[in-house]
Amino acid sequence: MAGAATPREAAIILLARREYSRAELRLRLTRKGHAADEIEACLDTLAEQGLQSDARFAESFVRSRVMRGQGPIRIRGELFQRGIDKNLARDAIEAVVEQERIDWFALAEKTLSRRFSTPGDIPKERARRERFLASRGFDFEQIRHALDCL
């Protein structure tokens, strides 16, 4: 049973803490035991009222991940996991890059330098640094640039 809270009340409580994607809210409300048709009606209303927006969530998410030193590949993948379609994810990443003047090459270099002080003297050490940046979501060219600048 859903308990005393309506889907809207539960969603508002969640949204008061941080932005959520529509898919995340749907999942959380489903776990609380609310009916699927009530959840969809609630989510539609929240979106119409501007209380929930996948575009706003995506931009906020991109900013938070950039601050953590993550690259575009990982950010895109995590947005997809949170129910954001690839076009909206691309638009959010592009908007944040433009607004914040993000340079993925410089971010890769900064992320690498926070963890390692040298590019690695032997191939095994260099490969470790490459794997680190790849796991953070940077592409091959960004990784090469970061290693060359370290």
Query: Which string of DSSP letters, residue by residue, matches 31-59?
Result: HTT--HHHHHHHHHHHHHTTS--HHHHHH
pLDDT at 2 > cutoff 90: no
CA distance 83 to 116: 34
Q: What is the predicted pLDDT for the residue at 5?
A: 82
pLDDT, tens only, 132-142: 999 999 999 99
How wide is the angle at C-alpha 91 spanned by C-alphas 88 and 93, nearest 5°?
110
Question: The pTM is what?
Answer: 0.90
Share of the chain above pLDDT 90, in %: 93
The reply to whether 54-100 and 104-149 are identical in fold is: yes
Domain ranges of the chain: 7-48, 54-100, 104-149
Backbone φ, ψ for residue 10 (5° rounding) = -65, -40
DSSP-assigned letter for residue 85: -
**Confidence at 150, pLDDT banded by 50, 70, 90:** confident
The architecture CATH gives domain 54-100: Orthogonal Bundle (1.10)
Give the tokens for residue 11: 């969603």
Long-range contact set of residues 85-94: C-beta below 8 Å, sequence gap at least 24: 88/54, 88/55, 88/58, 89/58, 91/55, 91/58, 92/55, 92/58, 92/59, 92/61, 92/62, 93/62
Q: How many other CB atoms are there within 10 angstroms of residue 50's CB atom? A: 8
At position 75, the amino acid (one-letter code) is I
Residue found by looking up tokens 């953070």 in the block: 136
pLDDT, tens only, 84-97: 999 999 999 999 99
pLDDT at 1 > cutoff 60: no
CATH classification (class only), 104-149: mainly alpha
pLDDT, tens only, 97-128: 999 999 999 999 999 999 999 988 899 999 99
pLDDT, tens only, 26-69: 999 999 999 999 999 999 999 999 999 999 999 999 999 999 99
